Amino acid sequence: MLSLKSIDLKKVKTETLIIPVCEDRDIHDDKTVSSLITKAKKLKEFKGDKGEEIVFYTPPEIKAGRVIFMGLGKLEKLNAESLRAFAGKAVKKCINMKLTEVLIGCPSAKKIKMEMPLPLEAIIEGAYLGNHLFDKYKEEKKHSSLKNISFLVKPDVAKSSGKILKSITTICEGTIFARDLINTPSNDKKPEQFTKIITDTAKKENLRVKIFDEKELKRKKFGAMLAVAAGSESKPRMIVLEYNPKGAKKTVALVGKGVTFDSGGINLKPTGSLEEMKSDMSGAAAVAATLIALAKLKPKTKVIGIIPVVENMPSGNASRPGDIVKSYSGKTVEILNTDAEGRLILIDAISYVIKQYKPQILIDIATLTGACVIALGEKIAGVFSSDDELAQSIISSGEKTHERCWHMPLPDDYKEDLKSDFADFKNIAGSRWGGAITAALFLSEFVGDTRWAHIDIAGPSYMKKGNAYCGVGGTGFGVRLFCDLLEKL
């Protein structure tokens, strides 16, 4: 449980108080807190440098079992992400100490030269996300999440920031829902199971839900998607989630790649590339979690979430390199590599949502290419769009949430590499270079005049090593970005 508190530390008992400290400036309004910091800095081993920590037990000045001081470094280097990281580290420290609750002292927005509510938002996000543990498959659970996290703020902030606390909690709940979906092993989230998890949760929030099963997909001629699913015993699904508020004047469509396990198909991936393929549905998780969060946040924009769900497996029924399939749009595709499957399920979903809903803006999000990881590393997503304004809006939201994105090129002449001698397109280009670009260009052939952007999250969707507010595994990348973006749009 999260709460904002404005209390007298001298009178109210606290189990654990955590205070962020800058080495060169007092950043707190609370005089008692400032006095404690002065006392801490008199010790040789603590000056507030980044990463420094020191603990006072039962200090006589206040009614606290312990006060933990955590160094932030110099004020000029302080930003929203460093506050987010501080709060995540603070919570993780308390978890490792097997504590049950914590009170985090929030710095003054004026003193750290940030406009409210940004610093408070960042600290709440870091604390909430840092409190997440995915341990459902462990018999021995060594740690437990904190039961109560409180934030020490001034009385006026406590009164005015209730809505902020609620909205951030909702968005972070969505991020954790996405993380849990990604971390769930593929044997427990085959397309039928994955669909049920999402739709059951969506229905509880009164989203309108449609599910297309294999028969319906065949009847409606989702040929590209069915080709990907052909090798698996688990049947494909397509989930349609609708958030439709009264008076909405704009429709935004989000499409998320939902490959619950990607073996590569006949073009089987090598050892070392298979183990994390349970995460190939990270785009689907982001879209589902965003729609579920929107149902609680209630923005005035109509949002459609389209989630094609398949498992890509080799078998006697699997699609073969050289096969030609007709997509939902009517355009044909020559499948030269069965491991370039994400773009095939996306083009059918994109074509469907444009025809059925005519959105003003369409954004797809997918763990699409290893080439994007080579280009941008594991922490930054690639944004592909010929609409500079839309791309910049996505990048701006990424900067605010620290779900970082970089605008990538879409050169027309690269489309030549996608031309097929036997069909309208090939699903991969002839050259091994620029694979993230040619994948995006392939998608672009199916969007028509709709304002469109593609976000390739192959890098930041999954962490092999955790950070301050995310453990090893799925990050839930895209949920916080989308919620911020849709509020602006």
Q: What is the pLDDT of residues 76-129, one digit of tens each?
A: 999 999 999 999 999 999 999 999 999 999 999 999 999 889 999 999 999 999
Q: Are residues 150 and 182 both part of a single domain?
A: no
Looking at the structure, do residues 343 and 288 belong to the same domain, yes or no? yes
Angle between helices 479-488 and 162-183 (to 10 degrees): 140
pLDDT in tens, 207-266: 999 999 999 999 999 999 999 999 999 999 999 999 999 999 999 999 999 999 999 999
Pair (135, 182) in one structural domain: no
Q: Which of 157, 189, 210 is where one domain is finished?
A: 157
Asked whether the beta carbons of 191 and 284 are under 8 A apart, the reply is no
Burial (CB < 10 A; 0-12, 13-18, 19+), residue 385, is buried
Instruction: Tell me: cis bond preceding 117? Omega within 30 of 0 counts.
Output: yes
Q: Supply the CATH number for residue 146's domain.
A: 3.40.220.10
Residue 343 annotated in active site: yes
What's the DSSP call for residue 467? B
Dump pLDDT digits (tens) for 2-39: 999 999 999 999 999 999 999 999 999 999 999 999 99
Catalytic pick among 47, 220, 269, 326: 269
Residues 484 and 374 in one domain: yes
Same domain? For 309 and 231 the reply is yes
In a domain, residue 133? The reply is: yes
CATH of the domain at 436: 3.40.630.10
Name the 3-class secondary structure at 220.
coil
pLDDT at position 142: 85
Residue 30 lies in a domain: yes
Last residue of a domain, one of 133, 157, 181: 157
Q: How sure is the predictor about 431, in pLDDT bands with cuts at 50, 70 and 90?
A: confident
Mean pLDDT calculated for residue range 164-185:
98
Q: What is the pLDDT of residue 489?
A: 85
> Is residue 314 domain-resident?
yes
Q: Is residue 166 situated within a structural domain?
A: no
Residues 338 and 308 grouped into a single domain: yes
Under 8 Å CB-to-CB from 404, ≥6 apart: which residues? 379, 380, 381, 398, 460
Asked if 195 contacts 235 with a C-beta cutoff of 8 angstroms, the reply is no
Residue 337 and residue 391 in one domain: yes
- Answer yes or no: is 146 within a domain: yes
DSSP annotation of 225 reads H
Lowest mean pLDDT among 95-99, 140-144, 299-303, 434-438: 140-144
Q: Residues 139-149: pLDDT tens digits?
A: 888 899 999 99
* In a domain? residue 165: no
| Phi-psi category of residue 434: left, alpha or beta, with phi > 0 → left and psi -120 to 50 → alpha | left
d(CA 159, CA 86): 24
Choose, from 93, 343, 426, 480, the residue flagged as catalytic: 343
Out of 103, 130, 157, pick the residue that ends a domain: 157
In this structure, the answer to whether residues 131 and 222 fall within a common structural domain is no
pLDDT single digits (tens) 352-395: 999 999 999 999 999 999 999 999 999 999 999 999 999 999 99
In a domain, 405, yes or no: yes
Query: Do 64 and 180 sit in the same domain of this protein?
Result: no
Mean pLDDT over each residue of the chain, to the nearest integer: 97
* Percent with pLDDT over 90 in the chain: 97
Check whether residue 153 and residue 267 sit in a common domain.
Answer: no
Q: Is residue 162 part of a domain?
A: no
**Spatial distance between the Cα atoms of 456 and 474, rounded to a whole number of angstroms:** 15
Range of the domain at 394: 171-488
- N- to C-terminal Cα distance for the chain? 31
Of 340, 331, 308, 335, residue with least CA distance to 319 = 335
Q: Are 129 and 186 in a shared domain?
A: no
Same domain flag for 85 and 199: no
Q: What is the pLDDT of residue 432?
A: 83
Give the chain's domain count: 2
Q: Examine the residue annotation and report whether 219 is marked as an active-site residue of this protein.
A: no
DSSP states of 57-96 as a string? ES-TTSSEEEEEEEEEE-GGG--HHHHHHHHHHHHHHHHH
